[in-house]
A and B are shown apart, each in its own frame.
Chain A
């Protein structure tokens, strides 16, 4: 999960993620305001206030479209900083499932 500093600056860039209600797929908010299963197409958010606004909007989509939206810290290239989020974004790492 993401942490924001008290001064309103984000500690790291973030992407907004959730699960698709219908099929459970991991999805990310994309640059056009839609939802994509590819983290490479995700919108990278640098501003804490904007992140909070986008999260509010995503929460409103929980009625019929999404489950559990939250923000994920990413590096400059848009890859999650935390291993859990990296595996969630890219799929199981075990060779059998690659």
Chain B
């Protein structure tokens, strides 16, 4: 993985000292809150419902064991001993004190991390496929490009005051595990007719108040032109994006209003002016970054491990965990181990300091010291030898991260909701907890099969409800929480925005309503047909009838 050079280290260390001075001046009354707020937000420090919240960037969701321990240290020393992994592959700490915030940033800087550009109208932390570099179906490691984009966009003066925030996601695999079509810019690596690897550039996707699927601006872009082309996209957005209306300021609105053809023409005009300029990527530059992500030095391992096969036969719990949370690796004899942060009754994405330390130890011993954060709020051990799976299973079971529910109903995405967030209208976490309790029977969850359930506590859609097979959106009606149900959403290559099923249901009714959606699916599905396929085939009617029949 990428390792900071001297310049990176000097930069983040200097930012900590700058912030320490800014915070001290605020505490001393030398600057006002209005003056201080943009400064703290530029360092990821929000003021939320209960306290300050620190959002830490985890570039393209990759971190090493030492960095995970730094996160544990922050949780333990400066927070209430836990953190919340987010849908942007970041982590948030909910109870940070302003007078200790610079010390927390110092812990990050000492581990080559920061909280810069996790807020504000800038290019945010770039996200990528959490199985980058290890997935068998991958064409090329997207983190190379995530890192190039990180270096280009960090503290970029032209793009520090955009009309609105800007999110870029990269996938190097046709399976798209990074939801690239619902980002401001989505990049999908693929081969052209000549077999060369380049990017499909999608623009104007997004969730929130106005969900949109990104439109393809360029079918295939040569690698060397990535930054020049994106500079042209950003410049076009910066020039024409709406600054007069917060709700119309994202690039998706610009693309929607002027149309993709006009957007493409404007971008191409700008691209023609900057193409071949200093931002063109020389092969040597790309190679230097790529070297950081070179395939790990895998010790030769046996792909067939008799003890592993024997335990699968004799222990159904182990067999189920392997079948559900362990996926194939590109290297024979290795596997990708997914750690579920979705136990029954848990808060999706939460981890305690002890859990973070424990998985750091496991990563160090068994995964070449590397971990990933997924946009579905789970963690990944990316380089595990098949012969170590039995040991890993015992260890992550003890940690509480071995619930065999990856990609299943109880692998819920949920935003912090009204329990923590100043923007929320309704709670998310208690709904997720009640759903996992209702569906605590793993046999039942496996019988239902692949299905994504995503919960947002307000229209800003941090919980990605629009692209959930089942989406729940919390709304407020006369001071009472209600939940809108959307069905048929999909974040993948065939991205789709879920459709509203009918009237919102009350908080107490929400879990029953989800259960009735599931009942309708089980009644109508064809053998082997996944939830979204059944919904696409039948439309909302059978689901609507069954959910609302109970209320009639």
Contact = CB atoms under 8 A, between A and B. Distances in A.
A67 B47 contact: yes
B27 interface: yes
A96 B433 contact: yes
Contacts of A88: 49-50
Contacts, number: 79
A25 interface: yes
9 contacts: A24-B95, A25-B50, A64-B28, A64-B29, A87-B49, A88-B49, A94-B433, A95-B345, A95-B430
B346 interface: yes
Contacts of A21: 26-27, 98
Interface string B407-424: 000000000001110001
B50 A91 contact: yes
A63 interface: yes
Given A64-B27, A82-B479, A96-B345, A22 B98 contact: yes
B235 interface: no
Nearest to A87: B418
Which size bracket describes the interface of B in this complex? 20 to 34
A93 B427 contact: yes
Nearest to A95: B433
B270 interface: no
Given A94-B429, A96-B346, A24 B51 contact: yes
B419 A97 contact: yes
Which size bracket describes the interface of A in this complex? 20 to 34
Interface string B37-55: 0000000000101111000
A83 B481 contact: yes
Interface of A: 19, 21-26, 62-64, 67-68, 81-84, 87-88, 91-97
Given A82-B479, A83-B479, A23 B99 contact: yes
B360 interface: no
A62 B36 CA distance: 12
Contacts of B26: 21
Interface in B1-45: 26-29, 32-33
Please provide the 7 A-B residue pairs with the shortest distance between their CB atoms, ordered closest to farther. Answer: A24-B51, A92-B419, A24-B52, A64-B29, A23-B97, A94-B429, A63-B29
Given A64-B29, A93-B419, A97-B419, 4 more contacts: A22-B98, A25-B50, A93-B430, A96-B433
Given A62-B33, A82-B479, A94 B347 contact: yes
B33 A22 contact: no
A25 B51 contact: yes
Interface string B81-119: 000000000000001111100000000000000000000
